[in-house]
Structure 1
Amino acid sequence: MASRIGRFLSCKGKVSIESGRLVVLQPNGKEVDPDWVKNHSTDLLHEILATLKIDAYEYRSYSTGYYDQGKHPGVSLQFRSTINDEASYVVFNVSLTRSRTTKAGKKGSPLPKGHFHVGDRSHFCKFWKSIPLAVPKSLTSFNDYMGNLKNILFTANLTEGRDDGRMDAGSIIPLSVSPDLVRKAFLPDSSPITSGYTPDNIRITTPDTNLALGHTGRPSQPISTACDRSYGKTVIRGRDDTGPNPATRLPKRPQVQTIDEWTVDFCS
């Protein structure tokens, strides 16, 4: 039995992961209804990752403190692997003290718990700017925006020589998997991937080794990477005269359909 994604792709749809988020395109190039994608993205993403054996990471929480035997102030971001559900984390160097005297406290005094400051050229800022999220107006207010990292998939290299799941702070970026790679995985008999084209960044887990593929190309179809996406209206093909009588069966709205129900409607 064909997979749900395979059935959708066979109807000329496109599925990809762009900047850590699922993107589902109709044959006309318009994006599928955002509410439907939101409701089903977890199942579809897991199906893609399991099929391609890609190890991606989901953000869970963060904390601040002094790391590396209490020598360096930092912010620690906790992640969970989608492959084996193991915990991983990354530490970015930040400032945990006030940079100037204000009514809230004197220069050099500790910031409130969970608050931190970063420099514009810091690894943390580079990490944030790689994500389709707006950068806060103040570099002192990132603590108010950390929850926005949820529902974005990341890829990263684990730090060599450590067995505690620590990531390399300079390697963590949102996961991208091209439509061509997804199609090749679910429809292996379809036309081959364009020569020299590989996914933007993935960590593929195989029984013997981990292979991190570098950037060698981009999809020809431009995809918006803004945090608030602008989606086209869902287009569901109408049934012909041989289908069920509309008087006896009212179709569900795409937003409340299951993946299987939606795929059947889409491909009918």
Structure 2
Amino acid sequence: MTLLGRLLARADHIEISNGRLIISPASGKPVPTLWLKKNQVQLLREIAICTDSNLFSYDSYSTGRYSVSEKSSVKSAGVTLSYYAIRSDEFVYVTFNAELHRKRTTKGGKQGSPLPPGQFRVTNRHKFLRYWDNTGIERPLRLSSFHDCMGKLRDVVMTAEFQKAKRLNKDTICPAEITSTQLRQALGLSGNIQTNPLQTPDNYHTTLPDKDVAQSHVTKGFHDNESTWPIYRVPSNQGGKYISDVKPVMQRTSDPANQTHEEWLAEYEAESKASDTAQ
């Protein structure tokens, strides 16, 4: 049985609500932070597989001018978001129209001059704004300051339909919604455990403080250490593209790729007891 199946069989409540993975243990104890960091991607992948869902985790973005169509030489300014497909273990992308020039003269430059690499501007008519509002993340104070908060997208697991090949349809991308009942049914678990996570004080959401961002991707087979936690964004010299600068933050006791589900759960219980003792 998968790790997801083991947790659900224990009557733990697991769901993805507004793009956030939520686990409410039947014991009422909080999910150990380090345990979740080690196993979150595996849980999301198992959720995607058993529900036959396309789940995507934000990776990076770039700005530029893109051809309107394959047969047209006309190019349109925009911002491209790169996402990691959790189920298929590949990178996909979605592109939104955006403005890359200054709307008015400021200390940084004259009206109509190019914005610095990596910066872009949108208005209320741009679909990017609707996409952003759907994530539940607060807008920046100015519609030209999204470059300062793009990293917050790592906290939201998205779903979308494909437009072609590895390109996502921007009209369909939105936060994933998968209930615990759907997961139990998908795994053929009998009975519907009635749990209201909103009434459980120790619910664990994947959204962590900026110092412990808990959204990332790993390559096939997963990494040998916790170098994917957290991810910081640094600008490159490639036309405004922002890439991952990975920093190791901890050492895992054993590689989840080599652990049995029983060992994972034993580690989960051990960390829970350690947390209780510390309190």
Alignment TM class, shorter chain as reference = 0.5 to 0.7
Report the Cα offset of residue 9 of structure 1: 1.9
The residue number in structure 1 matching 2:86 is 82
Q: Which runs of 5+ in 2 are unaligned?
A: 210-251, 255-262, 272-279
Report the Cα offset of residue 259 of structure 1: 2.6
The change in CA–CA distance for 1:6 and 1:157 in structure 2 (over 3 A counts) is: closer
Report the Cα offset of residue 190 of structure 1: 1.2
- Percent identical: 33
1:50-102 deviation per Cα after TM superposition (whole angstroms, max 9, x unaligned): 22232222222211111124431110112232232343211111111001001
For the residue of structure 2 that corresponds to 1:96, the secondary structure is coil
1:229-248 deviation per Cα after TM superposition (whole angstroms, max 9, x unaligned): 8xxxxxxxxxxxxxxxxxxx
The change in CA–CA distance for 1:81 and 1:142 in structure 2 (over 3 A counts) is: same
Cα contact 1:19–1:225 (8 A) shared by 2: no
Report the Cα offset of residue 29 of structure 1: 6.0
For the residue of structure 1 that corresponds to 2:167, the secondary structure is coil
Amino acid at match of 1:143: H
What is the TM-score normalised by the length of structure 2? 0.65
Larger helix proportion of the pair: 2
Report the Cα offset of residue 135 of structure 1: 1.8
The residue number in structure 1 matching 2:97 is 93
Q: Which runs of 5+ in 1 are unaligned?
A: 195-218, 230-254
Report the Cα offset of residue 125 of structure 1: 1.3
Q: How far, CA to CA, are the matches of 1:140 and 1:103 in structure 2? A: 15
1:124-164 deviation per Cα after TM superposition (whole angstroms, max 9, x unaligned): 111111114232112111112112222532111222xxx44
The residue number in structure 2 matching 1:66 is 65
Q: How far, CA to CA, are the matches of 1:264 and 1:167 in structure 2? A: 39
The residue number in structure 2 matching 1:124 is 128
The residue number in structure 1 matching 2:138 is 134
What is the TM-score normalised by the length of structure 1? 0.68
Amino acid at match of 1:38: K
The residue number in structure 1 matching 2:47 is 48
Cα contact 1:78–1:87 (8 A) shared by 2: yes
Report the Cα offset of residue 28 of structure 1: 6.1
Q: How far, CA to CA, are the matches of 1:104 and 1:176 in structure 2? A: 42
Structure 1 window deviating more from structure 2 (73-82 vs 91-100): it is: 73-82
The residue number in structure 2 matching 1:19 is 18
Report the Cα offset of residue 108 of structure 1: 0.6
1:205-242 deviation per Cα after TM superposition (whole angstroms, max 9, x unaligned): xxxxxxxxxxxxxx95438989558xxxxxxxxxxxxx
Amino acid at match of 2:15: S
Amino acid at match of 1:176: E
Q: How many residues align?
A: 214
The change in CA–CA distance for 1:127 and 1:58 in structure 2 (over 3 A counts) is: same
1:8-38 deviation per Cα after TM superposition (whole angstroms, max 9, x unaligned): 2222211111222321102266753444323
Report the Cα offset of residue 117 of structure 1: 0.6
The residue number in structure 2 matching 1:181 is 182
Amino acid at match of 2:17: E
The residue number in structure 1 matching 2:257 is none
